[in-house]
Amino acid sequence: MSEAELIFMMGSYEARFPTDRFYALNHMWMQPVDDRIRVGFTAYSVRLLQDVYFLDWEVDAGVSVKPKQTIGEIESSKAVSHLTAPIAGDDIQFNEALLNDPSLINTDGYGSGWLFSLKSEVEMLTAEDYVGHLEEVWKETQRVIKGQVQ
């Protein structure tokens, strides 16, 4: 992980956001790697999901996706949720290691726990913009999760 990071306090939990990547409002990070954008869950998202233990893709590798398109499903100790694409892109490729061990999302979310990659040239939020958004919505988020975050 990058040495430079921003911290957002979720109650007493520190959610860390490396500044060497970009972010989306659906709580995913995006990092340019060669000619692709690698995508994973932010620390904020992982904290709300808690222990991820199942992942399934609903689209085939190589297809193009649109923003907010459902591409898979994830199951955690808190819920079963749809996975949606944070941005439009082409030639989606999945992190095959996660199908065998989705716990990498919990243990190395900014490293080997990345979800998928795609080719895209859209604009994305900086870490500073994303943390600013979290600060704006945190009070409402706490109310929605009703004390689940200590």
Tell me: the pLDDT tens digits for 130-141? 999 999 998 888
Q: How far apart are CA 67 and CA 147, in angstroms?
A: 31
Task: Please report, for the chain, how many H helices and E strands are present, in that order.
Answer: 4, 10
Q: Cα–chain-centroid distance for residue 122? A: 17
Cα distances from 139 to residues 9, 45, 50, in angstroms, run 12, 16, 19
Q: How confident is the model at residue 1 (pLDDT cuts 50, 70, 90)?
A: very low
Mean pLDDT score, 10-25: 94
pLDDT exceeding 70 applies to what percent of the chain? 95
pLDDT for the residue 145 = 74
Q: What is the pLDDT of residues 53-107, one digit of tens each?
A: 999 999 999 999 999 999 999 999 888 999 999 999 999 999 999 988 999 999 9
Instruction: Give pTM, 2 decimals.
Output: 0.88
**The pLDDT of residue 148 is above 60:** no
Higher pLDDT, 128 or 140: 128
